[in-house]
């Protein structure tokens, strides 16, 4: 199981604490809003909106070192284009959202 981490952010910041903190703050600000939009689109069963939200959120996965989850989100997004809301893919995506939410509370 993948665990969110700050390795990529640390590489981007190259030791600059200000850049590091800015990147973390952007994620901490954007992620909850994006997660809520995703959940609202799921409730509405609006496939285009779900797909758009998955597309936006999946980039946070890679930034937080979740490469496998990023790839799975890519597949989830592709299936959504065909109006296929695969329950296993959704469950994995939702679990990753939960993992990130918990991680963000620790940093």
Phi, psi of 65, rounded to the nearest 5 degrees: 75, 20
* pLDDT band of 70, cuts 50, 70, 90: very high
Which tens digits make up the pLDDT trace of 19-50?
999 999 999 999 999 999 999 999 999 999 99
Long-range CB contacts (within 8 A, 24+) of 31-40: 31/57, 31/60, 31/100, 31/101, 31/104, 32/101, 34/60, 35/97, 35/101, 38/97
- Are 75 and 89 in contact, with CB atoms under 8 Å apart? yes
Q: Band of the pLDDT at 59, cuts 50, 70, 90?
A: very high
List the domain boundaries for the chain.
7-104
What residues contact residue 101 under an 8 Å CB cut-off, 6+ apart? 31, 32, 35
């Amino acid at each position: 199981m993948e665990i969110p981490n700050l390795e990529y952010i640390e590489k981007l910041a190259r030791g600059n604490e200000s850049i590091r903190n800015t990147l973390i703050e952007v994620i901490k600000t954007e992620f909850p809003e994006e997660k809520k939009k995703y959940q609202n689109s799921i409730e509405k069963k609006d496939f285009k909106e779900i797909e758009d939200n998955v597309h936006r959120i999946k980039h946070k996965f890679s930034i937080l070192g979740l490469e496998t989850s990023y790839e799975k989100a890519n597949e989830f997004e592709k299936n959504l284009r065909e109006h296929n809301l695969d329950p296993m893919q959704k469950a994995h995506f939702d679990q990753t959202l939960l993992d990130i939410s918990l991680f963000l509370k620790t940093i």
